[in-house]
């Protein structure tokens, strides 16, 4: 039989507790829409008592026409000595209008007596009163048993009493939380099965919420599912406090493609996992994790020559999954570690002759340039031009005669950047001057001005990223500088690279490649 596993996303609450993670109200609403589109079952919007933004989220989210996901409001048990019907936290949850309320309570006796500083019996009352109040108000309640696994190790009898109190009060689901992230899969399996037995008389199922402090949050989540858990809580890309939460991207992909007998998000839309992952990174203004399983840029990238050779014959020789099923793509990289198989795989895109000598020349040029500090893994456009030069098929669209960049500053005035460029274009000399926000921007503007009459399509090209790295830092101020430039038009994004002891010259090399590739691409 197939078991349906609920996916409970807490990116908008637990995810924002991660260092450097901040989401605006609009960000949270946009992410919620994407989560709903992919079929996530529950979206935890935040803690309505904690800040005005979360309060507004629960008002605004009601205007979204969500097709699948149910919105959850998060909160804690009532305060000690305060009745649930007058407790500010309970009232904020009720007034949020969220159909589901997730209540977190203490499970570990140490936390009850030393952190919360209440009697063990009163903590049980706080759990029961909080859940009973919200159930009476017409809300479904999910109970998060904080520190369940540490609490069970310390005092199994009391930990059992806490989750049983939640079940008796009307919780629809008990979620076992590895809050400190210190448990291992075999412990998760045993204690999850034990919790299921403890709750059998109430027929209340269990879920799992794991943190990643031992780098096993995904494995722990899957172990809990194997033991009988019906829900997995986590965040997109695993963002969250300390080392983060279980990454729901990997949880969903593993349940769908690696384990048999489970259904998640309706077993559809997995090809949008990569898109969802990158959307959350971009919305949160975070750097994409290239090595992230399933959806990372490097997840299906092949650099070693032996790997590329094998992939050309049988893709499953070095890939555990077809990248397309999760919306990713196979990438063949080029470097000094590559063999002719890598080169052949890449040249196929550019209609170059299958000539062994050309392949040798391309590989030799790559090895030489990488020794000088070049890297072509993120500069596919520069590599495409390199291949054409080695094959003798490259046609330059312009020729540099001279360029000059001047940067000046005066007391009390802003810095000025002026570039003068002299190019030979279609047999005619173009000599132009342009200003910019920086020296590279000024160079870019001057080159475009010199080329615009001959190549009007350049108007659609824009620079979207510029990165600088020192290659041989031991040389101090004489070190080589590597510049990566990403450009975009209405159809494509491409990367180029330049290396020089002079940062302006390195930038010029990368800019020239960017423009040449744009013009080559347009001609095709």
Read off the tokens for 1: 């039989």
Strands (E), 3-124: 3-4, 6-9, 42-46, 70-76, 100-106
pLDDT at residue 434, as a whole number: 94
pLDDT at residue 306, as a whole number: 65
Q: How many helices (H) and strands (E) does the chain have?
A: 17, 18
pLDDT at residue 409, as a whole number: 84
Give the Cα separation of 32 and 44 in Å (integer). 9
Is the pLDDT at 491 greater than 90? The verdict is no
Say if CB 193 and CB 164 are below 8 A apart: no
Mean pLDDT of 324-340: 72
Q: Return the CA Rg of the chain.
A: 29
Burial of 270-287, coded b for 16+ CB within 10 Å and e otherwise, reads bebbbbbbbbbbebbeee
The residue among 74, 90, 169 whose CA lies nearest residue 127 is: 169
SS3 content of the chain, % helix, strand, coil (to 5): 45, 20, 30
Read off the tokens for 237: 């890309």
Give the Cα separation of 276 and 107 in Å (integer). 34
Residue 328 CA, chain-centre distance (Å), reads 13
Instruction: Write out pLDDT tens, residues 420-445.
Output: 999 999 889 999 999 988 899 999 99
Say if CB 199 and CB 163 are below 8 A apart: yes
Fold of 372-395+461-524: Double Stranded RNA Binding Domain (3.30.160)
User: Count of CB atoms within 10 A of residue 523's CB?
Assistant: 9
Residue with the two structure tokens 């109430």: 202
User: Count of CB atoms within 10 A of residue 342's CB?
Assistant: 28
Read off the tokens for 347: 């040249």
Read off the tokens for 358: 């050309």
Burial of 471 (0-12, 13-18, 19+ CB in 10 A): middle
Distances, alpha carbon 120 to alpha carbons 75, 115, 167, 175, 467, in Å:
20, 12, 17, 20, 56
Instruction: Write out pLDDT tens, residues 279-317.
Output: 998 888 887 898 999 999 888 887 766 665 666 667 777
Instruction: Write out pLDDT tens, residues 249-283.
Output: 999 999 999 999 999 998 888 999 999 998 998 88
Question: Would you list the DSSP string of 146-208?
Answer: ETHHHHHHH-HHHHHHHHHHHHHHT-SEEEEEETT----HHHHHHHHHHHHHHTGGGT--EEE
The residue among 298, 302, 323 whose CA lies nearest residue 312 is: 302
Give the Cα separation of 200 and 183 in Å (integer). 24
Residue 28 CA, chain-centre distance (Å), reads 15
Give the Cα separation of 358 and 344 in Å (integer). 10
Instruction: Write out pLDDT tens, residues 130-184.
Output: 999 999 999 999 999 999 999 999 999 999 999 999 999 999 999 999 999 999 9
Give the Cα separation of 13 and 106 in Å (integer). 19
Burial of 176 (0-12, 13-18, 19+ CB in 10 A): buried
- 398-454 in CATH: which number? 3.30.160.740
**Which residue ranges make up each domain of the chain?**
3-283, 301-371, 372-395+461-524, 398-454
Say if CB 352 and CB 359 are below 8 A apart: no
Is the pLDDT at 337 greater than 60? The verdict is no
Length of the chain, please?
Answer: 524
- CATH topology of 372-395+461-524 equal to that of 398-454? yes
Fold of 3-283: TIM Barrel (3.20.20)
| Of 179-183, 341-345, 377-381, 492-496, minimum mean pLDDT range | 341-345
User: Count of CB atoms within 10 A of residue 228's CB?
Assistant: 15
**In the structure, what pLDDT confidence band is assigned to residue 343 with cuts at 50, 70 and 90?**
low
Which residues have a Cβ under 8 Å from the Cβ of 97 and sit 6 or more positions away? 58, 59, 62
What are phi and psi for residue 208, nearest 5 degrees?
Answer: -135, 140
Instruction: Write out pLDDT tens, residues 52-110.
Output: 899 999 999 999 999 999 999 999 999 999 999 999 999 999 999 999 999 999 999 99
């Amino acid at each position: 039989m197939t078991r349906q596993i609920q996916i409970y996303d807490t990116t908008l609450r637990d995810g924002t507790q991660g260092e450097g993670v901040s989401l605006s109200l609009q960000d949270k609403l946009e992410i919620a829409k994407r989560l709903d589109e992919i079929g996530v079952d529950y979206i935890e919007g935040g803690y309505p008592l904690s800040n005005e933004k979360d309060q507004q989220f629960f008002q605004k989210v009601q205007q979204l026409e969500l097709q699948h996901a149910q919105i959850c409001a998060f909160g804690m048990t009532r305060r000690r000595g305060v009745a649930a019907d007058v407790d500010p936290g309970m009232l904020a949850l009720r007034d949020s209008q969220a159909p589901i309320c997730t209540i977190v309570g203490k499970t570990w006796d140490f936390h009850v007596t030393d952190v919360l500083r209440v009697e063990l019996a009163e903590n049980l009352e706080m759990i029961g009163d909080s859940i009973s109040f919200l159930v009476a108000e017409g809300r479904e309640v999910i109970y998060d048993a904080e520190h369940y696994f540490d609490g069970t190790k310390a005092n199994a009898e009391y930990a059992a009493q806490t989750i049983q109190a939640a079940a008796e009060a009307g919780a629809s689901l008990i979620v076992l939380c590895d809050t400190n992230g210190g448990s291992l899969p075999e412990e998760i399996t045993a204690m999850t099965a034990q919790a299921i037995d403890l709750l059998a008389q109430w027929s209340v199922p269990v879920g799992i919420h794991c943190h990643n402090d031992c780098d096993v949050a995904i494995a722990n989540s899957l172990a809990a599912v194997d033991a009988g858990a019906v829900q997995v809580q986590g965040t997109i890309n695993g963002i969250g406090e300390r080392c983060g939460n279980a990454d729901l991207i990997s949880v969903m992909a593993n349940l769908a493609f690696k384990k048999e007998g489970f259904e998640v998000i309706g077993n559809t839309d997995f090809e949008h996992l990569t898109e969802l992952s990158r959307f959350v990174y971009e919305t949160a203004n975070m750097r994409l994790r290239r090595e992230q399983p399933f959806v990372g840029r490097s997840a299906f990238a092949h650099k070693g020559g032996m790997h590329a050779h094998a992939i050309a014959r049988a893709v499953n020789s070095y890939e555990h999954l077809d990248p397309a099923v999760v919306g990713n793509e196979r990438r063949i990289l080029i470097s000094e570690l590559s063999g002719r198989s890598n080169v052949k795989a890449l040249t196929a895109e550019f209609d170059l002759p299958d000539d062994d000598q050309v392949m040798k020349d391309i590989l030799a040029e790559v090895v030489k340039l990488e020794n000088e500090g070049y890297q072509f893994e993120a500069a596919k456009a520069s590599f495409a031009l390199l291949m054409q030069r080695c094959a003798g098929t490259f046609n330059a669209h312009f020729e540099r005669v001279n360029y000059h960049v001047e940067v000046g500053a005066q007391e009390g005035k802003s810095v000025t950047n002026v570039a003068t460029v002299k190019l030979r274009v279609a047999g005619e000399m173009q000599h132009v001057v342009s200003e910019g926000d920086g020296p590279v921007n000024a160079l870019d503007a001057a080159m475009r001005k010199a080329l615009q009459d001959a190549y009007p399509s350049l108007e659609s090209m824009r620079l979207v990223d510029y990165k600088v790295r020192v290659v041989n830092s031991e040389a101090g101020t004489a070190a080589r500088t590597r510049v990566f430039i990403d450009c975009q038009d209405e159809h494509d994004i491409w990367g180029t690279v330049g290396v020089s002891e002079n940062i302006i010259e390195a930038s010029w090399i990368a800019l020239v490649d960017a423009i040449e590739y744009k013009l080559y691409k347009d001609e095709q």
